[in-house]
Amino acid sequence: EVQVLESGGGLVQPGGSLRLSCAASGFTFSTYAMTWVRQAPGKGLEWVSVISNSGSSTEYADSVKGRFTISRDNSKSTMFLQMNSLRGDDTAVYYCAKTSGYSTGWFDYWGPGTLVTVSS
Amino acid sequence: EIVLTQSPATLSLSPGERATLSCRASQSVTSYLAWYQQRPGQAPRLLIYDASTRATGIPARFSGSGFGTDFTLTISSLEPEDFAVYYCQQRFIWPPITFGQGTRLEIK
């Protein structure tokens, strides 16, 4: 059974940093691109970033470019999101998802999400 | 950036009725469009991809159609568990991958 599970969320002050993790199981992790999507309280879905299966290619939404870094460790079937210079509008539930392709694809399996709150 | 506009914002129907949800793209996305369902307090779930292909385990009452800029998600006969928020998504021109703002399907 395919499973993805986020961790690392919490309360952080504006300007601070946080590192999210996404542990995957039930599929060959190194075959598929992985992605992060966030959802601010009461709002819709916003794509954040994607990383190719090998980790050699990454893309970001303009809203996080230069502040967030996506990475992966295929030996541990884990993806990461390093978030720096956090702002209030970064407050959201962050979902990791498996994609259906090697560079991107449809988001076919999602984790339950982890809440990031940026507040003083 | 491709903007996806969903309509209506809210749809009020009764169980057993047919639901028709619309998604319009600001420019052609060919068939690179998906639909997701999000129930309250849950993560989104992939329903339809490539505009009309049902994802694994999705009931046959869900169907998708369209090409280019106009797409439709149809639920043929609503079950109680179908009342949720539905999002369309494109990945034809990216980054960014974009979502519509969502349609809330509520019980009348």
pLDDT in tens, A74-101: 999 999 999 999 999 999 999 999 999 9
Q: What are phi and psi of A21, to 5 degrees?
A: -120, 155
Neighboring chain A residues of B32 at a CB cutoff of 8 Å = none
Q: Is any Cβ of chain A less than 8 angstroms from the Cβ of B45?
A: yes
Of A102, A105, A46, A58, the C-alpha closest to A82 is: A58
As a whole number, the mean pLDDT across chain A is 97
Q: Give, rounded to a whole angstrom, the gap between the first and last alpha carbons of chain B.
A: 35
Query: What confidence tens digit (pLDDT) does each residue in A21-32 have?
Result: 999 999 999 999
Which portions of chain B are predicted below pLDDT 50? none
Cα–chain-centroid distance for residue B24? 11
3-state SS, chain A, equals: CCEEEEECCEEECCCCCEEEEEEEECCCHHHCCEEEEEECCCCCEEEEEEECCCCCCEEECCCCCCCEEEEEEHHHCEEEEEECCCCHHHCEEEEEEEECCCCCCCEEEECCCEEEEECC
Are B96 and A47 inside 8 Å of each other by CB?
Answer: yes
How high is the pLDDT of residue B20?
98
Are B95 and A45 inside 8 Å of each other by CB?
Answer: no
Query: What confidence tens digit (pLDDT) does each residue in A42-84 have?
Result: 999 999 999 999 999 999 999 999 999 999 999 999 999 999 9
The pLDDT confidence band at residue A103, using thresholds 50, 70 and 90, is confident
How high is the pLDDT of residue A54?
97
Q: Is any Cβ of chain B less than 8 angstroms from the Cβ of A95?
A: yes
Neighboring chain A residues of B98 at a CB cutoff of 8 Å = 47
Are A113 and B43 inside 8 Å of each other by CB?
Answer: yes
Structure tokens belonging to residue B46: 């992939």
Are A45 and B36 inside 8 Å of each other by CB?
Answer: yes
